[in-house]
Amino acid sequence: MKLKLEKRKLTAAVGTVSRVVGVKSSIPAIEGILFRAAGTRAFLTGYNLETGITVGLDAVITEPGACIMPARLFFDIIRKLPDDTVSVQVDENYKVSIRGGISSFTITATSADDYPELPDVESDKGIRIPQQELREMISGTIFAVSDNFARPVHTGCMFEIEDDSVTVVAVDGYRLALRRYFPKEGLQRKLKFVAPSPALKECEKILTDDADDAVIYLGSKHILFKMGDATLVCRILDGDFLDWRKVLPQDNPIRVTANVARITDSIERVGLIISEKLKSPVRCIMGDNELDFRTTSTIGEAHDVCPVAGDGGDLEIGFNCKYLLDALRAVPDSEVRLECSRPQSPIILNPIDGSQTYSYMVLPVRLKTEG
């Protein structure tokens, strides 16, 4: 195998696939990076038996071929080379010569024959979503996935694809995060699947603001995300995902509109005296055109007031400071509508224009009686 590649693009590709290389695996081959060259393209693959990423990049190929590169060493060498063209040559004994500028290295690779094949996703038609939209839907929900593997299906995000919308939902038993995209043209598909959070975190890093759409292909057991020059394949999480429509309250009688930055600042201020260990709840009184925040902990007491539009009827509710802040930081707008119905009901964050592009729900925390 003999080829030349652009150093900057090669470094980015090796860095991307290195994140999913196997660690201390029973299959030694997946602890390396599969490096293939054919035609005018080079392909690098990392795979940990759960998630596989392949990145293709243009190359000047004199001799096609394939090998498994030692992942850490190969990445360290490539990123330290001068910003120039990188030459890679592999002989029949898998001795690898790497040259860039005035620097040269010789390392040892292994045969590509030992590398397992990535799962084949058979799908005749993919779901096209703008890359930026998909990235925002993932980043706007993934913080709410569960880390409790007693219910593995909730350790990922649920994708619900209908003709006129794509909805992504995450839940962890204490909160719910929902983002929705409305395509300009009908998708003519109706699908539902749950993707693991580690794979989606990798998608979030790969997705860009490029004009090209990302394409999702759904197989019987695996999902494939095509994102520009990169493809990611992962398994589908089995199980019954929470029916979010039944748990997300509608027609809440109490509604106030708040500036996202202002309410975030208010909650952050009262949260300064909440210890990570005790996680004292924040007490909120939803008054007339204001939200009154208070909290008491072993450290001390805090009080803050945030102006809002609307009358909360002096409803008093407690909530986990971190969970509500996570939701507020995920809101894509400058203003948000907070909804509630009674002290024991969840707090709901919705768009003020009724667009249904997002919803965040945080369950209440029981408050101790003051005095």
- Of 290, 324, 287, the C-alpha closest to 308 is 290
Interatomic CA distance for residues 135 and 200, integer angstroms = 9
DSSP code string of 270-307? HGGG--TTT-PPEEEEEEEEEEEEEEE-SS-EEEEEEE
Q: What is the pLDDT of residue 236?
A: 97
Q: What is the pLDDT of residue 370?
A: 59
Q: What is the pLDDT of residue 256?
A: 97
19-59 pLDDT, tens per residue? 999 998 889 999 999 999 999 999 999 999 999 999 999 99
Q: What is the pLDDT of residue 369?
A: 67
Q: What is the pLDDT of residue 275?
A: 78
Interatomic CA distance for residues 64 and 117, integer angstroms = 19
Architecture of domain 249-362: Roll (3.10)
Interatomic CA distance for residues 77 and 103, integer angstroms = 10
> Which CATH topology does 127-243 take?
DNA Polymerase III; Chain A, domain 2 (3.10.150)
CA dihedral 350, 354, 358, 363 (to 10 degrees): 30
Return per-residue pLDDT of the chain as tens, 371 residues: 999 999 999 999 999 999 999 998 889 999 999 999 999 999 999 999 999 999 999 999 999 999 999 999 999 999 999 988 999 999 999 999 999 999 999 999 999 999 999 999 987 789 999 999 999 999 999 999 999 989 999 999 999 999 999 999 999 999 999 999 999 988 888 999 999 999 999 999 999 988 789 999 999 999 999 999 999 999 999 999 999 999 999 889 999 999 999 999 999 999 999 877 767 899 999 999 999 999 998 889 999 999 999 999 999 999 999 999 999 999 999 999 999 998 889 999 999 999 999 999 999 998 876 54
The domain segmentation of the chain, as residue ranges, is 2-114, 127-243, 249-362
Instruction: Find out whether 315 and 334 touch, Cβ atoms under 8 Å.
Output: no
DSSP code string of 148-166? -TTSGGGGEEEEEEETTEE
pTM assigned to the model: 0.94
Question: What are 52's two structure tokens?
Answer: 């596989």
Residue 183: HSE in the Cβ half-sphere, 13 Å Cα cutoff: 19
Q: What is the pLDDT of residue 136?
A: 96
Q: What is the pLDDT of residue 143?
A: 97
- Asked, colleague to colleague, whether 2-114 and 249-362 share their fold, the answer is yes
The CATH number of 2-114, from 3.40.50.150, 3.10.150.10, 2.60.120.650, 3.20.20.70, is 3.10.150.10
Q: What is the pLDDT of residue 212?
A: 86
Q: What is the pLDDT of residue 124?
A: 72
